[in-house]
Amino acid sequence: MNESIRAREVRAVFPDGTTEVMPTSAALRKAQELGLDLVLVAPTAVPPVAKAVDFGHYTYEQKKKQHEAKKKQHVVQVKELKFRPNTDDHDYEFKMKHAIRFLQEGNRVKAVVQFRGREIAHADLGKKLLMRFSADLTAYGTVEGQPRLEGRNAHILISPTKAAVKAAEKAAEKSAEKGGEKGASGGAPHPPAPPAN
């Protein structure tokens, strides 16, 4: 910024939109005449690009952009669903609905079958359950490897597909638009008044 710019020449960009290659000292002088600071925007360019801006406002805008970018980031979490080898159909369907929601939100799902006592002798039942689970979720996610048995647990990891995440985002946008339309029109209509006797 200002005197700390080491380059002999810079491509100076001014608020009125003009750009010109000039010596750093001349660009600095012109920026100070306008009451602005000379800030390096692209130091690796040839010649380096410097912009005449109000430095306080410039740093505020940069922080604002970083904050917006951070807001849009989605941290992928691993959601774990636990089963037993003899899980009932209703429980299986219930957990599958949760898995679909997790995958649509962009999170990974780890399905775990826990074996207790002598159930470990029937590890094949747990693996069949995991294979069925992964087959039912092929439209929403991709399976990372085969079911693995570690100790008394068998598990499988499923990652979301981009198509499923985008479809869920579109559906959420549509439902938000419909909700906005109801609010604009005044909400639900009032029930008719009872007839007068």
Residue percentage of the chain with pLDDT more than 90:
26
| pLDDT value at residue 192 | 52
The region that residue 19 occupies, defined by phi over 0 for left and psi between -120 and 50 for alpha, beta otherwise, is beta
Q: List domains and CATH numbers for the chain.
A: 2-54 (3.10.20.80), 78-163 (3.30.110.10)
Work out the pLDDT band at 8, boundaries 50, 70, 90: confident
What average pLDDT does the chain have?
84
Identity of the residue numbered 123:
A
| pLDDT value at residue 195 | 53
* Distance separating alpha carbons of residues 134 and 69, to the nearest angstrom: 34
Instruction: Tell whether the torsion through CA atoms of 76, 82, 85 and 87 is positive or negative.
Output: negative
Work out the pLDDT band at 97, boundaries 50, 70, 90: very high
| pLDDT value at residue 181 | 58
Question: What is the mean pLDDT of the segment spanning 64-90?
Answer: 86
95 sits in which H/E element: helix 89-104
pLDDT digits (tens, 9 = 90+) for 107-136: 999 999 999 989 888 889 899 999 999 999
Query: Between these two residues, 113 and 163, which has the higher pLDDT value?
Result: 113
| pLDDT value at residue 3 | 76
